[in-house]
Structure 1
Amino acid sequence: MLKVCDAVCPDKRQLFSNVSLSRNTVAERVNQLSTNLKEQLVEKGKDFIAYSLAVDESTDTTDIAQLSVFIRGVDSSLTVTEEFLALRPMHGMTTGQDLYEEVSRCVNEMGLPWEKLVGLTTDGAPAMCGHRSGLVARIRERMRDENVTDELTAYHCIIHQESLCGKALKMEHVMTIITRAVNFIRAKGLNHRQFKAFLGELDTEYGDLPYHTDVRWLSQGKVLQRCFELREEICLFMESKGKDTTELRGETFMCEMAFLCDITSHLNVMNLQLQGRGRVISDMYSTVKAFKTKLSLWETQMQKENLSHFPSCQTMKEKLSTAVFPSAQFADKLNILAAEFRRRFADFEAQKSRFELLANPFGVDVESAPPNLQMELIELQCNDTLREKYERVGAAEFARFIPDTMPQLRIQAAQTLSMFGSTYLCEQLFSLMKLNKTSHRSHLTDKHLDSILRISSAQSLTPNIDELVQKMRHHQVSGSDK
C-alpha cells in the first residue's frame, strides 16, 4: 500500500503509515514469527551431536508457575546454538514428576535423541535435584531405560551457588540494621525528599540511597557501598528526626559493615563475570577457581592485618585504634567462605579434567586422560600447526579446528561446549516475562506468552521474513484467478 501511495499520492503517505494492523493480525503475525523460529531450531537440532538443557521455574503475575527451558546444542561443525526451547505453564503441582513430563515433552517435540543429552543445569530446588523423585533423578532413569551408557552431568547453577556461599558469612544482622535505616529514609516520601535535600546541603558526592531487595541480591553490594560512604550523613539525618543511632555508630558494627561491604563487592565482581550469554563452562570454572585462590590470599593477608584488597576495612582501621579492628575474626569469616566454596563447587571440581581438555588440550597429561582420547591427544600435542592455531584463536574457538581425524576429541569438545554453567538465561527470560505479562495484560494466553518470549529471547536465530511473506502470497488468490 505504501508503494502504491508513493506512486499515486505521495503527499498522503503519512496517513497510510498511521494505519495500524488489527490486534488479531498482530497476534497472528507474532505466532507466525515464533513458529518459524521453532521450525528453524528443530531443523538445527537434527545436526546436534551433543546438547544440554538449563531449567528453572518462577511464578508470573497471576501466580501460575512457569517452567523455562533453554537448550545449548553443538553440531558436527562444533558450532554452538544457544536458544529458548519452551516456556511451560504449570497450572497444577510442580513436583519432580510434573517437571520431568514437561521437559521430556520438550525434548521429544524437538526430536532430540536422549543419548546426546550431556548436561542438565537447574536452580537447585528440591523438585529439580531430589535424589529419588527430582527432575534430574527421573531424567537419569529415563536415560537408563533408553540404554544410554554415558552418565548425565547435573549442575546447580554457578551463580546461585555463589550467592548461597555469601550467606555462609552469617552477617545478616548487619544487613538488617542497614535495611532498617534505608527503609526509614526511603519508605516515606517526605523523609526521602528531606534526606536528598540534606545531602545536597552537605555537598556530598552521592545524592541518594538505593533500595535493597533479596530477589535482586546484586543490589546488596551497591546499598552497602553507598551506606558506608554516607554513614555519617545517615546518622546525622536520623538523629535530626529523633531516631536512636547507637547501633549504627557502634565500632564493632562499623567494622563489620566495612568488611561486608568489601567482600560483597568482590563477590559481585565475580558474579558479573559469570553472567551473560554464550559463556563456556570451562571459563566459568576458571573464574570460580581464581576466586577460591583469592580467598586463600585474603585470609593470609587479613591475619597479618594487610588490608590492601579491603579498602573499606582500611578506612575503618585508620579511623579506629588498631587494637579494636577484629582482623582475626574476619580471617575466620574468609576461611568459612572458602570452605563453603569448596563444598558447593565439589561437583565442578570432579569435572576438572574434562574442562582442562577443552581449555588447554596441549597442557593435559596424556597418561591421566581417558584411554579413548590418549592416541588422539598425542597426535594433537605433537602438531605444531594446531598448537599455533590454538594460541592464535583461543580455547573456545580452537575446538572447531580439531581435525576430523580426531573424532573422540571432537565429541569430547562438543560435549563440554554444550554445557550450561548457570540458569542465567532462564532468569533473564523471567525478567522479560514480567515485562510482558503484567497486571494489565494478565489475560495473555500461554501460547501467546510463549511466542512473545521466543521472539524476544532469540539470539543466533532470526525469523525468515521472506519465507513467511512467500507463504502468505501463495494463500492469497486474486479475483481473476477465481
Structure 2
Amino acid sequence: MQEENATGELTAYHCIIHQEALCGKALKMEHVMSIITRTVNFIRAKGLNHRQFKAFLTELETEHGDLPYHTEVRWLSQGKVLQRCFELREEICLFLDSKGKDTTQLRDEMFLCEMAFLCDITSHLNAINLQLQGRDRVISDMYSTVKAFKTKLTLWETQMRKENLSHFPSCQTMKEKLSTSAFPSTQLADKIGMLAADFRRRFADFEAQKSRLELLGNPFAVDVESSPPNLQMELIDLQCNDALRAKYAAVGAAEFARFLPGTMPQLRIQAAQTLSMFGSTYLCEQLFSLMNLNKTSHRSRLTAEHHSILRISSAQSLTPNIDELVEKMGHHQVSPSTSNK
C-alpha cells in the first residue's frame, strides 16, 4: 500500500475460520452432544472400562476398535467422535448394559435421528473448515468457499423438507431403520435454516465487499460496465491482454496482482487494498505453534536473537541466494595446492 502511495481506508475482518466454527452453535443441539460426551467419558476415563470396551469390540469383530476422545480445543474432533459413536451405537448400548447403565436415551429413536443429523451436518462443517485453512488462502478464496456453503445450505434445507437425504448418509440410515415414528425431516430442516441464517448474519460484510472480492478473484470475468469508473479503462486493457490472461492462468489470483503493470495503477491499488484483508489468523496460530515446538525444555537456551529459526520454519517463499553464499565462502577457502604445501 505504501509503495502504491494509496491512502484508502483498509477493511478489517474477524477470523473467518473462527466465525465458521461459531456458526455451528446456532444448531442448539448441545443436549445431544452432552449425552454422547458423557458416554464417551465413561468408557474412556477409566482404564478398566476402556480396556474392556476395546476387548468387547474385538469379540464382536467390529470395523472400529475404539472410540476417540472429544475436546473443545480441537475443532474437528467433534465430527470424528459423532461418526464413530453413530457407527458403534448398538455396541455401545450393549457394553453399557453389561455395566448396569441406563441406555434408554441412547436407544430413543428421536435421539438417534438427531444424533445422525448432527453427525452429518458436523461432517459438512468440518469440510468447509478444512477448505478455509492453509497458507495460500486469500480473502477472495475464502469468500468463494463461504458463498458456496451458503448455497449448499439452501439446497439441503429444501431437500430435507422433501425427505431427500442424498447428502445426509447417517440420516438416511436412521430413516431406513425407524420402526414406530416418522423421520423428523421438518424439524431438522428448520435446524439447517437456523444455521443458514447465522451464516448470513456473520458473513454479511462479505456482501458489502462482493464486487471488490470478485475483482481480485477473477478480474477477467467481471463486468466492466458495472465496475467503478476509475477502473473501467484499465479493466478493458487488462481483459484484452492475452499475455496477462495467460499469466493469471499460470500463477492464480493471489500471485497475479504482483504482475499488474505500472500502467494500471488503479487496479494495483485495488488489489493491494483487498489483499490487505487477512481473512483468518491461520498463519498467526501456525507461527505460535512453531514457536511452542521450538521453545521446548530441550532447547531452553533459545532467545529472541534466534528469530531466524522461526523465519525459516514459517517462510512461504524463502529462496537462498546461492551465488552470494558461494562468493562469501570463496574468501575463506584454501586451495588444495596451498594445503598440500
TM-score, normalising length: structure 2: 0.87
Contact 1:281 1:420 in 2 (8 A): yes
- Give the aligned residue type for 1:369: S
Counterpart in the other structure of 2:280: 422
CA distance in 1, matches of 2:94, 2:80: 21
User: How many positions carry a matched residue from both structures?
Assistant: 330
Task: Tell me whether 1:279 sits opposite 2:137 in the alignment.
Answer: yes
Match among 201, 224, 229 for residue 371 of structure 1: 229
CA distance in 1, matches of 2:196, 2:326: 55
- Structure 1 gap segments, 5+ residues each: 1-48, 51-74, 77-114, 117-148, 475-482
Query: CA offset at residue 458 of structure 1?
Result: 2.7
Indicate how the Cα distance of structure 1 residues 322 and 243 shifts in structure 2: closer, same or farther if over 3 A, else same: closer
- Give the aligned residue type for 2:108: G
CA distance in 2, matches of 1:294, 1:322: 31
CA distance in 1, matches of 2:191, 2:232: 43
Contact 1:437 1:449 in 2 (8 A): no
CA distance in 2, matches of 1:389, 1:452: 34
CA distance in 1, matches of 2:251, 2:134: 21
Contact 2:215 2:222 in 1 (8 A): yes
Indicate how the Cα distance of structure 1 residues 200 and 448 shifts in structure 2: closer, same or farther if over 3 A, else same: farther
Counterpart in the other structure of 1:255: 113
Query: CA offset at residue 256 of structure 1?
Result: 0.8
- Give the aligned residue type for 1:225: Q
Match among 460, 463, 476 for residue 317 of structure 2: 460
- Give the aligned residue type for 1:305: E
CA distance in 2, matches of 1:294, 1:185: 36
Query: CA offset at residue 323 of structure 1?
Result: 4.5
Indicate how the Cα distance of structure 1 residues 241 and 468 shifts in structure 2: closer, same or farther if over 3 A, else same: farther
Q: Which is richer in helix?
A: 2
- Structure 2 gap segments, 5+ residues each: 333-341
Counterpart in the other structure of 1:300: 158
Query: CA offset at residue 251 of structure 1?
Result: 1.2
Structure 1 counterpart SS, 2:12: strand
CA distance in 2, matches of 1:179, 1:435: 30
Contact 2:117 2:168 in 1 (8 A): yes
CA distance in 2, matches of 1:392, 1:275: 22
Counterpart in the other structure of 1:333: 191
Task: Tell me whether 1:218 sits opposite 2:76 in the alignment.
Answer: yes
Task: Tell me whether 1:344 sits opposite 2:202 in the alignment.
Answer: yes
Percent identity, aligned pairs only, is 81
CA distance in 2, matches of 1:421, 1:444: 35
CA distance in 2, matches of 1:459, 1:388: 24
Indicate how the Cα distance of structure 1 residues 327 and 397 shifts in structure 2: closer, same or farther if over 3 A, else same: same
Query: CA offset at residue 447 of structure 1?
Result: 2.0
- Give the aligned residue type for 2:316: Q
- Compute the RMSD of aligned alpha carbons: 2.8
Counterpart in the other structure of 2:126: 268
Counterpart in the other structure of 2:337: none
Counterpart in the other structure of 2:338: none
CA distance in 2, matches of 1:210, 1:442: 32
Query: CA offset at residue 355 of structure 1?
Result: 1.1
Contact 2:163 2:185 in 1 (8 A): yes
Counterpart in the other structure of 1:434: 292
Summarize deviations over 1:94-122 as a string: whole Å, max 9, x none: xxxxxxxxxxxxxxxxxxxxx76xxxxxx
- Give the aligned residue type for 1:157: C
Counterpart in the other structure of 1:192: 50
CA distance in 1, matches of 2:45, 2:161: 40
Query: CA offset at residue 374 of structure 1?
Result: 1.5
More deviation, 330-339/354-363: 354-363
Query: CA offset at residue 151 of structure 1?
Result: 1.3
Superposition pairs for residues 63-74 of structure 1, below 5 Å? none
Contact 1:373 1:409 in 2 (8 A): yes
Superposition pairs for residues 446-457 of structure 1, below 5 Å? 447=304, 452-457=309-314
Query: CA offset at residue 158 of structure 1?
Result: 0.9
More deviation, 461-470/422-431: 461-470
Superposition pairs for residues 49-68 of structure 1, below 5 Å? 49=1
Query: CA offset at residue 198 of structure 1?
Result: 0.9
Query: CA offset at residue 391 of structure 1?
Result: 4.8
TM-score, normalising length: structure 1: 0.63
More deviation, 396-405/320-329: 396-405
Structure 2 counterpart SS, 1:435: helix
CA distance in 1, matches of 2:10, 2:38: 46
CA distance in 2, matches of 1:309, 1:380: 41
Contact 2:132 2:142 in 1 (8 A): yes
Q: Which is richer in strand?
A: 1
Query: CA offset at residue 352 of structure 1?
Result: 1.1
Structure 2 counterpart SS, 1:355: helix
Contact 2:109 2:181 in 1 (8 A): no
Counterpart in the other structure of 2:257: 399
Summarize deviations over 1:442-474 as a string: whole Å, max 9, x none: 966662685543343233226779759959x99
- Give the aligned residue type for 2:160: M
Query: CA offset at residue 425 of structure 1?
Result: 1.4
- Give the aligned residue type for 1:364: V
Summarize deviations over 1:258-280 as a string: whole Å, max 9, x none: 00100000011111111111212
Counterpart in the other structure of 2:175: 317
Structure 2 counterpart SS, 1:459: coil
